[in-house]
Chain A
Amino acid sequence: MTTLTQSPSNAPVQDPPDDGTRGAWLLVAQREIVTRVMNKAFVIGLLVSLVVIGLLAAFFTWQSSRVDTYTVAVAGTDATAVGSVTGAAELAEAENGSTELELLEVADDDAARAALSTGDADVWLHPGDGGWVLAGEGQPDGTVSRLVGTAVEQQVLAANAEAAGTSMDALSEGAALTTEALDPQAMGEDTVFFATFALSFLFFAGAIGSGMMIASSVVEEKQSRLVEIIATAVPLRQLLAGKILGSSVIAVGQNLLFAAVGLVAVAASPISIALPALSTSLIWFVVFFTVGFLALAALYAVAGALASRSEDLQYTSTPMTMLVMGVYFLTFSASGTFQTVLSYIPVANVVAMPARVLSGETTWWEPVVSLLILGAFAVLALLVSERAFRGALMQTGGRVSWKQALRAEA
């Protein structure tokens, strides 16, 4: 019997309603996950990352809780000098307690110079021409200069005021400036910047790492022709679904782990007040990342299918790598209107929207709308990728282009 058109039974691996292959994607996903978790390089990389995050957190905590003590030498018992040092020490304590000042009273100027050179004192406060001098062996520490400068000024002003028949309080009445945080949980700009940077990096590392994982797992099967055996056993759609699920579980799981370690570190640090806002932002990030990674995983799977050997991967995955790197560089540096625009564009919104949530400038519906846009993009990416994946996977001999893959019947 000759038929010019293809009879359904002779069509390449298509999808019948049910022939006992329905659970195959779970088997595929399970294998992807197990293979990955058993992979030494992956496990070592994960452990190193966790240790680095822990060390960074410990360093910042130590850095911010560290107390620097400076000894200020004063010659003789100059009341103004002693009063200034005491005043500066009080100012330091009132600020944040990370700087402490101690007074060292020495006999005369020579003794003060000696104390500086032996290191017994860090700075020496003494009268100079028409004012005061804070001397150090090198240039005195900036914080110490500022504190002592303010204290000296107050002492001298008080003395001058008294001489002029008035008082310091009268002179400075109404000039006091106090600071107040309307929302005690609002982030400092630095915290927002570093958190945004951390989100960008989590996106970058997760997307590239797990994206390349799915691509190389696809090309491994293509190169070894295992995919031909698999294709006769289960529909390719199921193979793709299983691979996307497997690599997504790894990618999201890894980011959850990093996020958890990061949050524990923040909780133990002086910026623990930021914890609730950071957590909200991180939850959004994980949701966005999960949806966004589905799309990226599908595209990376196509990159694997377009290659015919693992050596081709660096070419076929270039567009995806550029996309991920672009998102990384744009999102961690973006601000203002540009960031607002990015927060609605897939897949930049995976980072940009949670970053905006963190800085507290979003209303409740903004992340929801952005997530819907991302979801629509993911569905589109999955549909296109599924077609290209099936079109490219069985083509042997050389790299396949996206165009060829989308046009191919099989």
Chain B
Amino acid sequence: MTMLEVHDLTRTFGDRRAVDGVSFQAPGGMLTGFVGSNGAGKTTTMRMMMGVLSITSGEVRFGGAPVTRADRRSFGYMPEERGLYPKQPAIDQLVYLARLRGIPAATARTEAMEHLDRLGLAERAKDHVEKLSLGNQQRVQITAALMGRPRALILDEPFSGLDPAAVDGMVDLLREHTARGVPVLFSSHQLDLVERLCERLVILRAGNVVADGTPTELQQAGTVRHRLVLDSDAGWVRGVPGVHAVDVDGPTALVELADDATTQRLLATAMERGQVHELSPVRPSLAQIYREVTA
């Protein structure tokens, strides 16, 4: 398992620090989601990791050592706002890009045809890319990144503009690579997707990492709330010391509790007043966590 990691990575544009001391790990064999609002520094970080943009300070490590040019040459990369050569057949550009990475022409052709075949694009391999639908163009782009058994994958918004079925198809492809022990780092705006797919998650805000871990770790680290369901109006919980009522709706209240003692006190009070149907912890969704840490 080869780990891809960044240490204290910083990039300034003039006076602006676009990425400010970012450190995180993308372990081999896992899908790591890279989340953050527009301008948080995701693309800048990924471009520095690929060596497309020079690093102001900090470093990128691969397999425990500073990343080399040869390492990067073996990485699969999808830049943001990408395209292809519009007037060249799909198969030709896949072979060209693979050959630039040192893959022999015959091998590249065979592999590209296999990929296109799987994506149902085999008979369109000789069509100019501009004649393919946007979704199919995106499939060709990801194929370009997956050619030649890459040793790591860095994908900037790989799923943007794809329908759910196409996303599932792509995820299956990516899983084949994590199964080989390859680290896969991808950025996305679609939190539900990241929550469903990723083994790890890195959240960036204004050039800083504000959360980093497995989805479960992040949920546990987030503020735990409790739901209380009574047989009568629950408005009185607002007056209990140590209880912060987030929302009260008739007999149901969503509360944040200061400590365990508060929990017991709230339960005892509720039972004195009538029947208690439910008192249960509510795990925050990633969307909630995201809103909390990026607020």
Contact = CB atoms under 8 A, between A and B. Distances in A.
Q: Do A and B come from one complex?
A: yes
Interface of A: 1-7, 9-14, 16, 19-21, 24, 27-28, 31, 35, 39, 220-221, 223-226, 228-234, 394, 409-410
A226 B52 CA distance: 12
What are the nearest 5 A-B pairs in CB distance? A224-B83, A225-B79, A9-B66, A12-B54, A233-B100
12 contacts: A3-B58, A19-B73, A21-B73, A31-B96, A220-B86, A228-B47, A228-B77, A230-B97, A231-B52, A233-B73, A409-B54, A410-B54
Residue with the greatest number of chain B CB neighbours at <10 A, chosen from A20, A229, A231, A234? A229
Given A19-B73, A24-B100, A232-B72, A2 B88 contact: no
B59 interface: yes
B87 interface: yes
A234 B72 CA distance: 10
B99 A232 contact: no
A326 to B, nearest CB: 32
Contact of B50 (A28, A39, A223, A232): A232
Contact of B96 (A6, A16, A27): A27
Interface in B99-140: 99-102
Contacts of B101: 233
Nearest to A31: B96
Contacts of A4: 57
Contact of A229 (B7, B58, B97, B102): B97
A232 B96 contact: no
B168 to A, nearest CB: 25
B52 A13 contact: yes
B81 interface: yes
Nearest to A235: B69
Given A1-B7, A230-B97, A232-B77, A10 B66 contact: yes
Contacts of A19: 69-70, 73
Interface of B: 7-8, 47-48, 50-60, 66-70, 72-73, 75, 77, 79-88, 96-97, 99-102, 144-145
Given A224-B83, A225-B79, A7 B66 contact: yes
Contact of A27 (B53, B77, B99): B99
B282 to A, nearest CB: 40
B83 A233 contact: no
Nearest to B80: A225
Contact of B82 (A5, A21, A39, A226): A226
B51 A226 contact: no
A2 B57 contact: yes
State the main secondary structure of chain A at its contact with B: loop
A394 to B, nearest CB: 6
A233 B70 CA distance: 8
A2 B7 contact: yes
Nearest to B9: A10
A337 B101 CA distance: 54
Contact of A13 (B51, B88, B144): B51
B85 A394 contact: no
Looking at A11, A20, A224, the one whose CB has the most chain B CB atoms below 10 A away is A224
Contact of B83 (A16, A20, A223, A232): A223
B102 A21 contact: yes
B69 A20 contact: no
Contacts of A2: 7-8, 57-58
A28 B99 CA distance: 10
A220 B85 contact: yes
Of B51, B68, B85, chain A has the most CB atoms within 10 Å of the CB of B51
A387 to B, nearest CB: 14
Contacts of B87: 35, 39
Contacts of A16: 69-70
Of residues B56, B57, B81, B100, which shows the largest number of chain A Cβ atoms within 10 Å of its Cβ?
B100
Contacts of A7: 59, 66
A275 B86 CA distance: 45
Given A2-B7, A223-B83, A12 B52 contact: yes
B85 A226 contact: yes
B102 A394 contact: no
B69 A14 contact: yes
A4 B82 CA distance: 32
Nearest to B48: A10
A226 B59 CA distance: 25
Given A1-B7, A21-B73, A225 B58 contact: no
B170 to A, nearest CB: 18
A230 B100 CA distance: 7
Given A12-B52, A20-B102, A223-B83, A35 B88 contact: yes
Given A6-B55, A9-B67, A394-B53, A225 B83 contact: yes
Given A228-B47, A233-B100, A394 B73 contact: no
A226 B84 CA distance: 7
B55 A10 contact: yes
A87 to B, nearest CB: 69
Nearest to B145: A229
A226 B144 CA distance: 10
Nearest to A6: B55
B51 A12 contact: yes
Nearest to A393: B52
A232 B97 contact: no
A228 B76 CA distance: 11
A19 B79 CA distance: 23
A21 B145 CA distance: 18
A35 B85 CA distance: 10
B50 to A, nearest CB: 5
Contact of B97 (A1, A9, A233): A233
Nearest to A239: B100
A410 B48 CA distance: 11
A242 to B, nearest CB: 10
A233 B100 CA distance: 6
A3 B61 CA distance: 13
A13 B69 contact: yes
Contacts of A20: 102
Contacts of A229: 77, 79, 97, 144-145
B161 to A, nearest CB: 15
Contacts of A410: 53-54
Contacts of A233: 73, 97, 100-102
A232 B84 contact: no
A18 to B, nearest CB: 10
